[in-house]
Amino acid sequence: MSGLAALRKLKMDDYVFPFEKLEIWKLAVDLADFILELLERFPQNKHFRLIAQLEAAVSSIAQNIAEGKGRQYKKEFIQYLYIAIGSLFEVLTLTELFTRRKLISREEAVTIREQAKVIHRKTYSLINTLKKR
């Protein structure tokens, strides 16, 4: 279920913030939710710093998209989209490390990479569209 659908299901007010209309924000929240769920099963006494870093990086993607959408100037929004892409790359690097350590299965890593690929392509597409305006 997308983030927006979840909001409606909870019967919150009908106001939709501008960033909630962005498909890349919804996809980033879905990716974060998937990874956070995976992290809940990790051993609590191993790789604490890397787990915290992955939590921060994966949540940072959607946060930067939302914050950028709230900025006054298009140039600022574009900069925040680039920051979101940087966080996405950080997630992929940490995913690779955890996969090598056998804390994330190959199948889960493939799912993360596929979701990341879509977010990456759609974010660059939005950046290019914004630059043309």
Residue 93 has, within 13 A of its CA and on its CB side, a CA count of: 9
Q: How far is CA 82 from CA 32, 86, 89, in A?
A: 18, 6, 11
112 CB-near residues (< 8 Å, 6+ apart): 31, 34, 35, 91, 92, 95, 104
Assess whether pLDDT exceeds 70 at residue 1.
no
Which of 15, 14, 16, 22 is CA-nearest to residue 130? 22
Average pLDDT, the chain: 93
Q: What pLDDT digit, counting tens, does each position of 22-31 carry?
A: 999 999 999 9
Domain 18-132, CATH class in plain words: mainly alpha
Report pLDDT for 113: 98
For the stretch 40-49, pLDDT in tens is 999 888 889 9
CA angle 6, 55, 24 (to 5 degrees): 45
Looking at residue 45, its pLDDT comes to 83
Q: Taking residues 108-133, what's their average pLDDT?
A: 97
Domain boundaries, the chain: 18-132
